[in-house]
Amino acid sequence: MQYKSMWIFAAGLVGVIVLLFYLQSPPATPGSGPAMASVIVPELSVAEKAGEEKYIANCAACHGVNGAGQEGVAPPFMHRIYAPNHHADGAFFAAVQNGVRAHHWTFGDMPAMPGVSQRDVAEIVTYIRALQRANNI
């Protein structure tokens, strides 16, 4: 009898481990991969250039140069999923403040970025929207 309950316990344990494995997608990590979009880069205003600098410093290691994304790392912002009517500016502030659970892609979770201020995000969004406009997104 005791032997049997031990087996039930072991089976339960295996179940829990498998479940945890499924629930826990590994976090995305900066890296390099081929660009996922070809991007037309417009003439940038002073404000947009400031946003570009912040973007390069904080986001490009995952989301790629010019928001083109990187295969195997993170998605491109030059994609209709991130158009203003799909991911409004608030989504960018939330992503940086809270991180993002992987849901649209299989890259893993985006970590929260406490070192990036809400003001930085505002500049980054200005830059990304300028790129999107130039690329009909």
**Site for ligand HEC contains 113 (CB under 6 A):** yes
Cα distance between residue 13 and residue 3, in whole Å: 15
**110 counts as binding ligand HEC under rule CB under 6 A:** yes
What are the CA-CA distances from residue 8 to residues 3, 5, 50, 69, 122 (Å)? 9, 5, 60, 46, 54
* 80 vs 99: CA distance, rounded Å: 21
* From 1-9, 33-41, 42-50, 109-117, span contacting ligand HEC (CB under 6 A): 109-117
- Region binding ligand HEC by CB under 6 A among candidate stretches 13-21, 33-41, 64-72, 101-109: 101-109
24-39: b or e for each residue (b if 16 or more CB lie within 10 Å)? Answer: eeeebeeeeeebbbeb
Cβ 135 to ligand HEC shortest distance, Å: 16
Q: Are 106 and 71 in contact (CB under 8 A)?
A: no
The answer to whether the Cα torsion of 75, 81, 87, 89 is positive or negative is: positive
Token pair of 106, please? 């299989």
14-33 mask for ligand HEC (x: CB under 6 A)?
Answer: --------------xxx---
CB of 3 to ligand HEC, least distance (A): 45
Stretch that binds ligand HEC, among 1-9, 12-20, 33-41, 58-66 (CB under 6 A): 58-66
Give the interface with ligand HEC as residue ranges (CB under 6 A): 28-30, 58-59, 61-63, 74-75, 87, 91-92, 95-96, 100, 102-105, 107-108, 110-111, 113, 116, 121, 124
